[in-house]
Amino acid sequence: MSRASWPTAEGITATTMANGASFGLRLCLTVSVPLLLLIFAVGLNHAHGLTTFGKTQNQDQNLPRHQGNTKPCTDQSNCTYIKDTTCLKGFCYCGDNTHPVNGRCKVAEKGHSHICQKEEECVEGATCIVRPKEFQTSSTSYLNNYTVCWCEDGVAFPNGRCAGDRFFSSSIFVASMLLISTFVKTIYS
């Protein structure tokens, strides 16, 4: 379209303005819907386990630092008298990687690397399996004969939750919806 054939201000009618508003809405939908789908798909993607160098993250780094009243342990037998605890990194931790308070854990669900008997004990996104040998370290090699909750996608957070659980994916979706609605509101205000 040459510059000479562009409409002038006098030639714009109510119909043209309505079509322009329709065009703006179509443009907004054309941009926002694929963006929404992309964000939602990334939120459900379970391939978050790789670092920038292509190696999986060392899951044992996610444990909190030692806190004063945490019971030290050398193997799992030191933690058996405190229900729902596992000996990790030399201390007895509850399933959410916190220390027991007054000999009890706040949560019964068991997070990544915690000993389990059946799958129902594990957090969402984890399965109760025999500990994979490739993830053993010298401080956890005594867990060879135990079944542990293991994140299906291999990525765990410091609180023991898995990256692929529904709570995490839902949180990303809700945050993206809020961001997009704020963006659309500023455009049309």
Asked if the structure places residue 111 within a domain, the reply is: yes
Looking at the structure, tell me whether residues 143 and 88 fall in a common domain. yes
Buried b (16+ CB within 10 A) or exposed e, 84-108: bbbbbbebbbbbbbbbbeeeebeee
Looking at the structure, tell me whether residues 64 and 33 fall in a common domain. no
Highest mean pLDDT of the ranges 4-8, 44-48, 96-100: 96-100
Q: Compute the 3-state secondary structure of the chain and give helix, strand, coil in percent, each to the nearest 5.
A: 40, 15, 45
Output the pLDDT for position 15.
46
- Reported as a single tens digit per residue, the pLDDT across 150-182 is 888 777 787 788 876 555 555 666 677 778 878
Nearest CA-CA partner of 63 in 121, 115, 111: 111
Q: What is the DSSP string of 41-85?
A: HHHH---TTB-TTSPBP-GGGGSPPP-TTPPB-SSGGGGTTSTTE
pLDDT at 88 over 60: yes
Range of the domain at 172: 15-46+167-188
In the chain, the percentage of residues whose pLDDT exceeds 70 is: 49
pLDDT at 81 over 80: yes
Looking at the structure, tell me whether residues 115 and 159 fall in a common domain. yes
Structural domains counted in the chain? 2
Mean pLDDT of the chain: 70
Looking at the structure, tell me whether residues 85 and 37 fall in a common domain. no
Looking at the structure, tell me whether residues 148 and 81 fall in a common domain. yes
Looking at the structure, tell me whether residues 41 and 67 fall in a common domain. no
Looking at the structure, tell me whether residues 70 and 98 fall in a common domain. yes
Asked if the structure places residue 176 within a domain, the reply is: yes
Least confident of 9-13, 173-177, 183-187: 9-13
First to last CA, the chain: 31
Rounded Cα gap, residues 93 and 143, in angstroms: 14
* Residues contacting 84, CB < 8 A, separation 6+: 94, 95, 105, 107, 108, 110
- Reported as a single tens digit per residue, the pLDDT across 31-58 is 666 666 666 555 554 444 444 555 555 5
Looking at the structure, tell me whether residues 156 and 78 fall in a common domain. yes
Output the pLDDT for position 177.
74
Looking at the structure, tell me whether residues 182 and 145 fall in a common domain. no
Rounded Cα gap, residues 48 and 56, in angstroms: 9
162, 112 Cβ separation under 8 angstroms? yes
Asked if the structure places residue 140 within a domain, the reply is: yes
Asked if the structure places residue 117 within a domain, the reply is: yes
Looking at the structure, tell me whether residues 42 and 121 fall in a common domain. no
pLDDT at 91 over 70: yes
Rounded Cα gap, residues 156 and 150, in angstroms: 9
Looking at the structure, tell me whether residues 151 and 174 fall in a common domain. no
Asked if the structure places residue 153 within a domain, the reply is: yes
Asked if the structure places residue 52 within a domain, the reply is: no
Asked if the structure places residue 51 within a domain, the reply is: no
Average pLDDT score over residue span 94-115: 88
Looking at the structure, tell me whether residues 92 and 125 fall in a common domain. yes
pLDDT at 75 over 70: yes
Asked if the structure places residue 101 within a domain, the reply is: yes
Output the pLDDT for position 65.
52
